[in-house]
Structure 1
Amino acid sequence: MDTIRKYQDYVCTSFVAAIEPVVVERARGATVVDAGGREYIDCFAGIAVTNAGHCHPKVAAAAKAQIDKLIHAASYVYYVPPVADLAEQLAQVTPGALKKTFFGNSGAEGIETALRMAKAYTGRSEFIALTHSFHGRTVGTLSVTGNMQRKKRGGPYLPGVAFAPAPYVYRNPFGTDDPEVVAERCAEMVEWAIKYQTSGNVAAFIAEPVLGEGGIIVPPASYFRRVKEVLDRYGILFIVDEVQSGFGRTGKLFAIEHYGVEPDIMVMAKGIADGFPLSACTARAEIADAFQPGEHLSTFGGNPVSCAAALANLEVMLEEDLPGQAAAKGAQVLAQLREMAHEHELIGEVRGLGLMIGVELVTDRKTKQPAAKQAASIRAYAREHGVLIGVGGQEGNVLRLQPPLTITEGELERALDVIGKGLEMARSVSS
């Protein structure tokens, strides 16, 4: 098709193995329609972006109304009402004492802000991050990313970053299947990293409450509480990366709420405005106020249209109880996938919170050899049969199900039926 040819000739895409051969014409709810009129059940939501569904009427109406009034006004040069209103709303819905927000355009920009803010407040320059993590594709965010597959040929990266093992129960270095033992050991390793990999000048620890690109890794229940105890002993800030897990995705408005700890800085993007480009870095007031004139800015940050969409999106989240919907639908999907695991040896582990779900595929359950080829084949099979899913994980062997939270039970049933048939087909795929 003409669009595909233009992509091949004019769009830089060499950084992806292959673009899904779907020319997207329009979308609504959890349905994507291609240029030929074929419909797909979207179980990836633009990588966990359209949490309230594609083109939610309330979000679209708010953006259209704002476009007729003001599109751009340099929100850090002038006072812009939607920016002020959204910052106020975020202060009310985010956990703990988080209060002041810097708005950017992408998750990476939000993380860069958080790192800079932590340095400005503490006067320190080092960071602790996790293996398997992903925080963006700038030099700064890749420096705190613990996923080799995302960092290849991009170094050297910034110094002053130490890594502790991710609380990845299925693949942990401690020889145990006990989640609480893994939580304890991994928290101890955060302190080990502070003591033996840094100069004692650590500004912050950064982590995703559910590691998305790493393969939908869900930390054990006590992990962040144990880590926070370590951080408090050393006066280290906690930056939580909610770029992918925020806005109802895991069954609560923010995933860190599952763990009962309060971050010092929170970064949001993706689901914040249901598809409009926007990020938010929200911190305690005294931390946000540590910036001095000239130290930070964003020309397009706090775009009025994106902020208006985000305000409407937040209203939808609360009015339609999308976090509650994600919790209920996710529990059902997880139960069905775990039933499938009894029939399909290819499934090593099913894990997730809400509608942030990963299915890790292995060729052998004893050795846990990653089944990357099979994962790719199932993704292709699902697409060919009208279902869009993702694939992730360090080894590319985790099926990712992250649909719009408004997806219907019927759509989920059809999607799971296709995935089940894809698992059956993948038995014949050689490693």
Structure 2
Amino acid sequence: MSLAEELPEVVTEKIPGPKSSALLARRDAAIPKALCGKTYPVCIKRGEGAMIEDLDGNKILDWVGGVGVLNIGYSRPEVVEAVKEQSEKYFHTIFNVIVHEGYVELAEKLAELAPVKGDKKKAYFANSGAECDENAIKIAKAYTGRQSIICFTGAFHGRTNLTMALTAKKAYAQGMGPFPAGIYRAPYPYLYRAPKGYTEEEAVRYYLDELNRVFDEGAPAKEVAAMIVEPIQGEGGFIPAPMAWVKAVRKICDENGILLIADEVQCGNCRSGKYYASEYWKEAGCAPDIMTTAKSLGAGVPISAIVASAEIMDAAPAGTIGGTYCGNPLACASALKTMEIFKKEDYPAKANHIGGMLRSRMEQLQKTCPVIGDIRGMGAMIGIEFVKDPQTKEPATELTARIIQIALQKGLLMENAGTYSNVIRFLAPLCITDAQMEKGLDILEAAIKEAMQ
């Protein structure tokens, strides 16, 4: 049986075992402290599908997926072969000097696929989520001739200077200012934590009023180049933007000449039950103007993309976009093969199937475990929010941390999210088997019950 089909099994007394502990000690001596956390003491030897084997032989089910990078799973043979084949031709060109076909073909396919406004679309590439978001802001400023940007509470857009300014949680930006001017923040529609007693309709109205307040007290609407929104917030706690709110935001943007940017760095590439979550927006008549995506686009080889109409894209002055490694041939080869597999094997359907299994089990458990405050998301992008009390909704941050540690010792790797770090987010590779899902859910349920004792 291949590792991709196996179930979790811990063979050492604890994780980390001795070999992993030795590597972690070497890490601590050679790597900056900021990258040497103690929460996830896992050292990989090999990975297949949704499973990893650590240096000590422990088989661990991965519900983190490189934090959303491995929707297709570890070491997919066809992707390995595509990268290998490209590597035997050439590793690199700088695209604005020497054109390679992979870049052009991937841009064509993304332009065809991306649910952004416009009949004729164009795409180009960067290396990371932060880079594609920063480049989307450049494009928006070039097209509109405006300087101000609106972002939202709970947002995560990256760790460059500009994207740290856009990112809400300032633990990601501590001591790193000053940040660029012209960044304004409005409340994101977090319905579970809307003012008490509000109906969904009233809550949406409240969040829209707060957005309009930014125009009065922050930046006049006619000076705003773009609003950047995650269709499903990632680091913020896996919170889908309510469609009624998205429709209203689209209307505000249209009335004021503001571009709407959909940040699909984490929720894109089949995770949401659509190829891109913005497809839900487009079906509702409120497609974004610009879409960014990264993470699972290249199956682990660094690449990100920016897609918009040709009219918007062509506004960028020569020299303002691009970069040495952007659209690297190996990354484009990986992304093209990954896209082919996603379509051929209907990965959005896999996401919906997985999400259904997770929701069903957690909703059943919620009846007897009131610490499960909210279960939300789209497709396989599901967040489980833990609270001390379902009435007060006080975040159960410590409980969430205990659940994660207990599960790890049973062979299940998970990660938290949310403003209060009290949400467990589900980012398992979409190639996970039903047997692995069931085993993972068994471990999660056992960890929740143990942590509550």
TM-score interval for Structure 1 and Structure 2 normalised by the shorter chain: over 0.9
- Alignment-derived partner of residue 336 in structure 2: 311
**CA distance in structure 2 between the partners assigned to 1:315 and 1:422 by the alignment:** 37
Q: Map 1:106-185 onto structure 2 (within 5 A).
A: 106-172=128-194, 174-185=195-206
Tell me, yes or no, if the aligned pair for 2:406 and 2:451 is still in contact at 8 Å: no
Q: Map 1:378-417 onto structure 2 (within 5 A).
A: 378-417=403-442
TM-score (norm 2): 0.91
1:302 partnered with 2:302: no
1:366 partnered with 2:391: yes
**AA at the equivalent of 2:318:** P
Deviations 1:200-239 (CA, angstroms, capped at 9, x unpaired): 4100000000000001112223221111011111110001
Offset of 1:17 from its aligned partner?
4.2
Deviations 1:273-325 (CA, angstroms, capped at 9, x unpaired): 11110010111111111111222221000000000000000001100000011
**CA distance in structure 1 between the partners assigned to 2:214 and 2:279 by the alignment:** 26
Match of 1:10 among 30, 36, 55: 30
Q: Map 1:281-360 onto structure 2 (within 5 A).
A: 281-360=306-385
- Alignment-derived partner of residue 81 in structure 1: 101
Tell me, yes or no, if the aligned pair for 2:27 and 2:36 is still in contact at 8 Å: no
Tell me, yes or no, if the aligned pair for 1:41 and 1:411 is still in contact at 8 Å: yes
TM-score (norm 1): 0.96
My pick for the range that moved more, 126-135 or 327-336, is 327-336
- Alignment-derived partner of residue 41 in structure 2: 21
Deviations 1:149-181 (CA, angstroms, capped at 9, x unpaired): 323322222211111111101112x33453333
Offset of 1:147 from its aligned partner?
2.2
Match of 1:47 among 67, 72, 84: 67
Superposition CA RMSD, Å: 1.4
**CA distance in structure 2 between the partners assigned to 1:17 and 1:36 by the alignment:** 20
Q: Describe the SS at the equivalent of 2:367.
A: helix
**CA distance in structure 2 between the partners assigned to 1:16 and 1:224 by the alignment:** 39
Q: Describe the SS at the equivalent of 2:387.
A: strand
Deviations 1:34-81 (CA, angstroms, capped at 9, x unpaired): 111211111111101110111111111111110111110111221111
**CA distance in structure 1 between the partners assigned to 2:204 and 2:70 by the alignment:** 32
- Alignment-derived partner of residue 239 in structure 1: 261
- Alignment-derived partner of residue 204 in structure 1: 226
Unaligned runs of 5+ in 1: none
Tell me, yes or no, if the aligned pair for 2:28 and 2:36 is still in contact at 8 Å: no
Offset of 1:15 from its aligned partner?
5.0
**AA at the equivalent of 1:56:** R
Tell me, yes or no, if the aligned pair for 1:167 and 1:186 is still in contact at 8 Å: yes
My pick for the range that moved more, 145-154 or 295-304, is 145-154
- Alignment-derived partner of residue 32 in structure 1: 52
- Alignment-derived partner of residue 228 in structure 1: 250
**AA at the equivalent of 2:372:** I
Offset of 1:99 from its aligned partner?
1.7
My pick for the range that moved more, 256-265 or 45-54, is 256-265
My pick for the range that moved more, 65-74 or 259-268, is 259-268
Tell me, yes or no, if the aligned pair for 2:272 and 2:351 is still in contact at 8 Å: yes
**CA distance in structure 2 between the partners assigned to 1:153 and 1:403 by the alignment:** 33
Q: Map 1:57-68 onto structure 2 (within 5 A).
A: 57-68=77-88
Residue 139 and residue 361 in structure 1: after superposition, are their counterparts in 2 closer, same or farther (change >3 A)?
Answer: same
**CA distance in structure 2 between the partners assigned to 1:158 and 1:16 by the alignment:** 29
**CA distance in structure 1 between the partners assigned to 2:30 and 2:37 by the alignment:** 17
**CA distance in structure 2 between the partners assigned to 1:417 and 1:177 by the alignment:** 35
**AA at the equivalent of 1:93:** L
- Alignment-derived partner of residue 248 in structure 1: 270
**AA at the equivalent of 1:162:** Y
1:273 partnered with 2:289: no
**AA at the equivalent of 2:98:** Y
Tell me, yes or no, if the aligned pair for 2:127 and 2:304 is still in contact at 8 Å: yes
Q: Describe the SS at the equivalent of 1:350.
A: strand
Deviations 1:236-273 (CA, angstroms, capped at 9, x unpaired): 00011000000000100011222332111111100101
Residue 17 and residue 8 in structure 1: after superposition, are their counterparts in 2 closer, same or farther (change >3 A)?
Answer: closer
Tell me, yes or no, if the aligned pair for 1:128 and 1:194 is still in contact at 8 Å: no
My pick for the range that moved more, 108-117 or 362-371, is 362-371
Residue 13 and residue 62 in structure 1: after superposition, are their counterparts in 2 closer, same or farther (change >3 A)?
Answer: farther
Residue 133 and residue 409 in structure 1: after superposition, are their counterparts in 2 closer, same or farther (change >3 A)?
Answer: same
**CA distance in structure 2 between the partners assigned to 1:82 and 1:195 by the alignment:** 47
Tell me, yes or no, if the aligned pair for 1:129 and 1:163 is still in contact at 8 Å: yes
Offset of 1:368 from its aligned partner?
1.2
Residue 16 and residue 208 in structure 1: after superposition, are their counterparts in 2 closer, same or farther (change >3 A)?
Answer: farther
**AA at the equivalent of 1:197:** G
- Alignment-derived partner of residue 8 in structure 2: none
**CA distance in structure 1 between the partners assigned to 2:189 and 2:301 by the alignment:** 32
**AA at the equivalent of 2:411:** G
Deviations 1:338-374 (CA, angstroms, capped at 9, x unpaired): 1111111211111111111111111112221111111
1:100 partnered with 2:125: no
Q: Report % sequence identity.
A: 36
**CA distance in structure 2 between the partners assigned to 1:51 and 1:104 by the alignment:** 19
1:257 partnered with 2:282: no
Offset of 1:16 from its aligned partner?
5.7
Aligned residues: 427
Q: Describe the SS at the equivalent of 2:425.
A: strand
